[in-house]
Amino acid sequence: MAKGWDSRDNVRSKAGREKVRLKSARGRTNSSARWLQRQLNDPYVAEARRKGYRSRAAFKFEELDERYNLLKGAKRVVDLGCAPGGWCQVVVKRLGEKAEIVGIDLQEVEPIQGVTMLQMDFHALDAEERLMAELTGPVDLVMSDMANSATGHKSTDHMKTMALCEIALDFALKVLKPGGSFVAKVLQGGSDSVLRNRMNKHFKKVRHAKPPASRKESTEWYVVAEGFRKPDA
């Protein structure tokens, strides 16, 4: 486990238990059977159910926050691509309902107390305006777990995900307060030097991280940018 991560041994150690096996794969494709087998044996899935999180992805943000203190002192947070709501659940748990938390997703998301949910396409012309209308001031953290449906073609998936990261960054640069942070999903494969250079220009620290909850075989990483600086800073 990477140095600096708060220990998740109490979750991951459960992977060493006796594996659950499907009694029958009848009626399922090989891929769906493999997915179900993996879910049955994933300690993060079990822990998410125990904690009431809507998905195991909540632990990815928990771990990122534990390492980088992204929510320390935060009063306003925007979650781009928030479905099914796990990241927002973590924010509410750690900041309470007094913080302004706004989430947006193309899918309908079951309400979360303390979170303003917008169901719309972030690409829509009025998306930024509607998001900003829900905020009473500059934002402390913009986070994005947005991803396109996988095509199976690595370079295509990489480019599409990087494009989502670009538009998320564009929004963050408009709404973040000085010292604010930005975290977004990216995929391995191809150069992201242009994106990295933009972030280096506007943030004091820019790093890539793969939280322990992110599956080893997954190509996803997260870019974490801290210490937002205004263009004239």
Q: What is the DSSP string of the chain?
A: --TTPPP-HHHHGGGGSPPP--S--TT--HHHHHHHHHHHT-HHHHHHHHHT-SSTHHHHHHHHHHHH-TTTT--EEEEES-TT-HHHHHHHHHH-TTSEEEEEESS-----TTEEEEES-TTSTTHHHHHHHT-SS-EEEEEE---PPP-S-HHHHHHHHHHHHHHHHHHHHHHEEEEEEEEEEEESSS--HHHHHHHHHHEEEEEEE--TTS-TT--EEEEEEEEE--TT-
Return the pLDDT at 27: 54
Sheet-wide strand order for 76-80: 115-119, 100-105, 76-80, 139-144, 176-187, 220-228, 203-209
- What crossing angle do the helices spanning 57-68 and 86-95 adopt, rounded to 10°? 40
Residue 132 Cα distances to 27, 75, 96, 127, angstroms:
47, 15, 21, 9
Active-site residue, 14 included: no
Return the pLDDT at 225: 97
Say which of 19, 185, 201, 230 is annotated catalytic. 185
Return the pLDDT at 109: 96
Return the pLDDT at 156: 73
Tokens, residue 46: 């079990």
8 A C-beta contact, residue 40 and residue 28: no
Tokens, residue 110: 């079951």
- State in Å, rounded, how far the first CA of the chain is from the last one: 37
∠ CA 92-146-89, rounded to 5°: 15
| Alpha carbon of residue 147 to chain centroid | 10
Tokens, residue 77: 């947070």
| Positions in the chain short of pLDDT 50 | 1-2, 7, 10, 13-18, 20, 22, 24, 32-37, 233
The number of residues making up the chain comes to 233
Reported as a single tens digit per residue, the pLDDT across 156-184 is 777 888 889 999 999 999 999 999 999 99
Return the pLDDT at 22: 42
Q: Could you give all domains of the chain from N- to C-terminal order, each with its CATH number?
A: 55-228 (3.40.50.150)
Tell me which amino acid residue 113 is.
Q
pTM: 0.83
Q: Which residues contact 35 (CB under 8 A, 6 or more apart)?
A: none
Give the residue from 162, 146, 164 showing the smallest Cα distance to 154: 162
Return the pLDDT at 36: 43
Tokens, residue 68: 């980088």
